[in-house]
């Protein structure tokens, strides 16, 4: 009987030990007299420790199990939020690393970290817009971003419509945002990789303007790998701040709501200065 109870408790996920529990009581001389209690199982559940007699082990186990069932279930991850960029300090301030910049600001705002290595990316978790999200900074370098995104989406069974990608766009002036529900890569190699690996372009995106090349002959790679200038930084910081707000708005209320609030808008200059 005791073996049946022991195995049943183990199957139900309890950490169970068999042992003797003693109780110390003092006699008239003040000496400790140990008395063995009629305990058959020591059952650990979280930080609590239960002592169970054979006759009551199964009923108590069922009660404890029901207490666990009554706790709110962990919400499944149902969104990926991905900021694109290149890993390494030398790329940190590049125009091409704007997606990483937004992710860092997003983590800071929500007091979470994005530093766990998983799916060829630095990852973290946050509840945004009422949904549990996996935050990602792919470490594959920009042109292979799809390897990381597709692997995570496959693992969590997340459809493209719930994969939000944030990246730089040279067709927009510095500080502008463009939010779209889907679309082509538009020459952005990280987005191209995601489309190829996921087999779909039906994922929402937040594009952050980094400005066009200074002149047509300027090499595109050199331009996107150049640093945001000191003069451009206020507009860039403003765009990053609004992109962070747009992420939660989009997840909570959809692309149209985020578009209406944040698309293309910039803070007006302070005329009181």
Q: Which residues contact 36 (CB under 8 A, 6 or more apart)?
A: 20, 21, 22
Residue 255's H or E segment, with its range, is: helix 255-262
- Is 194 within 8 Å of 125 (Cβ atoms)? no
Q: Indicate if 96 belongs to the active site.
A: yes
- Cα separations in angstroms, 178 against 2, 86, 104: 66, 21, 19
End-to-end CA gap in the chain = 83
The C-alpha atoms of residue 273 and residue 127 are separated, in whole angstroms, by 38
Catalytic residue among 96, 120, 131, 162: 96
- Cα separations in angstroms, 145 against 68, 80, 142, 150, 224: 40, 13, 5, 9, 16
- Is 100 within 8 Å of 85 (Cβ atoms)? yes
Is residue 55 helix, strand or coil?
helix
Write the DSSP string, 184-218. Answer: --TT-HHHHHHHHHHT-----EEEEE----SSTTS
Q: Can you read off the two tokens belonging to residue 115?
A: 């530093």
Residues taking part in catalysis: 96
């Amino acid at each position: 009987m005791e073996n049946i109870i022991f195995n049943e408790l183990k199957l139900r996920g309890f950490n169970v030990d068999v042992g003797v529990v003693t109780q110390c009581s003092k006699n008239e001389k003040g000496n400790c007299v140990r008395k063995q209690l009629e305990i058959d199982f020591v059952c650990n559940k979280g930080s609590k420790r239960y002592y169970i007699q054979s006759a009551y082990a199964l009923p108590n186990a069922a009660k404890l199990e029901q207490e666990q069932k009554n706790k709110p279930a962990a919400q499944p991850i149902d969104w990926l939020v991905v900021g694109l960029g290149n890993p390494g300090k030398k790329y940190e301030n590049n125009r091409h690393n704007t997606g990483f910049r937004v992710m860092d600001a997003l983590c800071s705002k929500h007091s979470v970290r994005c530093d766990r290595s998983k799916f060829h990316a630095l990852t973290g978790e946050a509840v945004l817009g009422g949904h549990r999200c996996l935050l990602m900074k792919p470490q594959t370098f920009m042109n292979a971003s799809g390897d990381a995104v597709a692997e995570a989406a496959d693992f969590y069974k997340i459809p493209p419509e719930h994969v939000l990608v944030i990246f730089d766009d040279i067709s927009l002036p510095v500080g502008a945002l463009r939010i779209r529900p889907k679309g082509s890569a538009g020459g952005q190699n990280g987005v191209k990789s995601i489309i190829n690996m996921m087999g779909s372009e039906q994922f929402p995106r937040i594009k952050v303007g980094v400005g066009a090349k200074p002149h047509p002959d300027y090499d595109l790679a050199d331009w996107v790998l150049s640093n945001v200038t000191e003069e451009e930084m206020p507009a860039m910081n403003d765009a990053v701040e609004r992109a962070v707000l747009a992420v939660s708005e989009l997840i909570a209320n959809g692309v149209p709501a985020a578009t209406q609030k944040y698309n293309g808008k910039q803070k007006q200059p302070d005329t009181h200065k």
